[in-house]
Amino acid sequence: MRGLVHIAVVATLAAGATADAGHNRHQHMHRHVVPVPDAVEKRAVVTTVVTPIETKYVYSDGEAVNAAEAKKCIADGECVVIGTSTPTTTSAKAATTKTTKHPADFFESKATTSTKSSTTSSSTSTSSTSSPPPPPPSTSSTKAAAPSAAAPAAGSGSSSNFPSGKIPCSHFPSDYGAIPVDWVGLDGWASIQTTGSWTPGVSISNIVEPISGGCVAGSFCSYACSPGQTKTQWPVTSQGSTGQSIGGLWCNNDGFLELTNPSFNTLCMDGLGGITVENQLSEVACVCGTNYPGNEMMNVPLVTQPGSTNTLTNLNAKTAYQWEGKYTSGQFYVNNAGVTVDQACIWNSPNYPSSAGNWAPVNIGAGTDINGITYLSIFPNTPTTTAQLDFDIEITGDITAPCYLKSGSYYGGSNGCTTAITNGGNAVIVFKPQGSA
């Protein structure tokens, strides 16, 4: 298996939201990036930043490889992405490219908007000093738990204090607000990152990540929360030594679950609100958020039933996980109508290998900047997939500019669109039949 490194080339320009409302994206194995535009901090709310990014690849030994060959190598499981060059914009009128290599998610800071990428593996477990967890392959080994086509049940104790060190690691804490994702094959957990030991304040360089089984001693065990919420637990002062994100409760050597974030005694916290998803379709539509911090797989479920209105998590960046002190935002994968949660909120979908999970047709980005402005983006999941969404999406409500996907075309251009929620307002992301008014 060969390693691939992304090289991203960026050029930035300012554009009014009434023109091509763009978004800053960086493609890697299973993440697309939609950080909030920095330029808005110094300009009007309706101003956005358009940042076209060209993705190139080289093998880890420096040999150049064209994009088509790289994508095929990744799809065939013969290559993994082991690093990325990260474009960094400094203003709306000027751009520089700063090269770094660090895995994780996307984030936003006062002066810099950047991205992180993830490494994946096809083996059943991985010991790594520089890469995040492997996504489970679409084999029977990942199906340790029977998949469910229904929406996961909401936790019953989301506001209850978690008794640190008292609950066995074999007990999934749904009674304290965690939502099981049984189809992943980890006894309900979203990811398991085994490090053997944990010393607060010391970075972690050796991470083994199983793709089956339960939470075991010496592991960080991550979990999903109800729609509108996000998890509170991650080792704040002990993240991956090369930028990997680590999240969840700690299973100690005695086999009991411990809190890892001293700022919270509960497992889940409410987001900022203001964003809902309305399903006007005749079938279920699944929106899958990334498990972050953790293995960064798209396995946190929002299952929208026909005729329903659902809360999309708008995390509070000031209290949520921050990557190296920088705000992070929400990333969501939109699957075609009728794809059930066990086929949608997973890396490889056995039934829809080229159009669901990591290959879902569309992404939604949601994030709130340091000034409290919430941005929403809709954009194609390219170059990962060429799959087309079989319904339309339109953002309505108290927004600063139009943003929609109608009959396969995005407002403003093929790269998608971005809008912002007006102060104190609400936005509705509407799923509707293609071609409907």
Name beta bridge partners: 106.
Answer: 115
pLDDT, position 68: 67
* Domains of the chain from N-terminus onward: 2-115 (no CATH), 275-314+333-433 (2.60.110)
pLDDT, position 92: 25
pLDDT, position 332: 97
CA distance 242 to 100: 11
CA distance 82 to 28: 10
Please, what are the averages of pLDDT over each run of 10 residues along the chain (437 residues)? 37 25 31 32 28 44 63 58 34 26 30 30 31 30 34 52 96 96 96 88 83 93 96 87 87 96 94 96 97 93 98 90 83 97 96 97 91 92 95 97 96 92 93 91
pLDDT, position 394: 98
Instruction: Find, among 104, 87, 39, the residue nearest to 369 by Cα.
Output: 39
pLDDT, position 208: 87
Burial class (CB within 10 angstroms; exposed 0-12, middle 13-18, buried 19+) of 267: buried
For residue 420, what is the enclosing H or E element?
strand 417-420
pLDDT, position 293: 92
- Are 14 and 47 within 8 A, CB to CB? yes
